Amino acid sequence: MTGIPVGRRVGRVEAPTDDLALLHRENYRSLVRLATVVLGDLGLAEHVVQDAFVRLQLRWSRLRDLDNPPAYLRTAVLNGARSQLRRQKVRDRFAGRRTVDRPVTTPEAAAVDHDDQDRMIRALRRLSARQREALTLRYYLDLPEVEIAATMGVSPGSVKTHLHRGLANLATMLGEDGPPSQPGDHQTGEDDR
């Protein structure tokens, strides 16, 4: 039903009673994780995901024929996150600190050095919104470029550009070698939001 990783289901015994509950159960946590990566703020991430579900439900009658509601939700979450990031105060807050405490060791966390991870995440959040979204969809959700393009509402060619520039900018910020340069690389501002 979805290309999005399904969240942990701990202690859940009752079955979903309707379409919304089913969709929510299968996608809520993964969408919160996605929004958390993009926003760096769990509270805002939950708010954005909730908004996406409300909009989906309100438009449900017109979306019955949608073959991929999770894709709609994913796009809605990214749009909502982008809207949040436009708020200067939010951007200022999340640029400087982490609001989600890292839990005790997870398999993912154990696989990477925490300092390196923090530097990587901080650098990721200094990228433009489009570069950050493209990299998140590619390296968190492992989406192919065509799906990233559909989610972001851009062409596959633009996705390639965002991915390439995003990696190059990450490498620069981390003081490492990145992919071969292309014209227009190292743009980290609002240029392509």
Partner 1 sequence: MTGDLESRLRAAVRAEAATADGATSMADEDASLGAIRSRVRTVRRRRRAMALAAATVAVVLAVGALPRLGGDRADVNVVGGPADREMTTTPDDSTPGTTPSTTGADAPSATGEDTGTTTSPPPDPDIIGDGFQPLWPFATRAAATTWQEAYDTGGQQPWHLDAEQTALSFTTGFLGFTEIDQITSSDIGPDEAEVGVGYTNPDGGMSTAALIHLMRYGTGDDAPWEVVGTHDTDLLLETPDYGTTARSPMTVAGYITGVDESLRVQVRQSSSAESLGESCCLPAGGTEAPWETTVEFSGASDPAITVIASTGGHVQEVERFAITGLRS
- Chain residues in the site for partner 1 (CB under 8 A): 7-8, 10-12, 20-21, 24-25, 28-29, 32-34, 36-37, 41-51, 53-54, 57-58, 80, 83-84, 86-87, 89-90, 93, 97, 99-104, 106, 108-109, 111-112, 116-117, 120-121, 124, 135-136, 139-140, 167, 170-171, 174, 176-179
Rounded Cα distance between 192 and 120, Å, is 21
Q: How far is the CB of 19 from partner 1 (least distance, A)?
A: 12
| Residue number, 28 or 72, with CB nearest to partner 1 | 28
- Cα(23)–Cα(18) distance, integer angstroms: 9
The answer for residues whose C-beta is within 8 angstroms of residue 154's C-beta and 6 or more apart is 130, 162
Structure-block tokens of residue 88: 């200067």
Nearer to partner 1 among residue 139 and residue 158 (C-beta): 139
| Minimum CB distance to partner 1, residue 22 (Å) | 11
Query: Do 63 and 122 form a contact (C-beta atoms < 8 A)?
Result: no
Phi, psi angle pair for 124, to nearest 5°: -55, -40
Residue with tokens 């969240």: 7
**Smallest distance, partner 1 to C-beta of residue 95, A:** 13
The angle formed by the CA atoms of residues 44, 6 and 55, to the nearest 5 degrees, is 45
| Gap between the Cα atoms of 12 and 16, Å rounded | 10
Q: At its nearest, how many Å lie between partner 1 and the CB of residue 150? A: 20
- Nearest distance in Å: CB 163, partner 1: 10
Comparing CB distances to partner 1, the nearer of 44 and 149 is: 44
Nearer to partner 1, 39 or 149 (CB): 39
| DSSP-based three-state secondary structure for 131 | helix
- Nearer Cβ to partner 1, position 1 or 21? 21
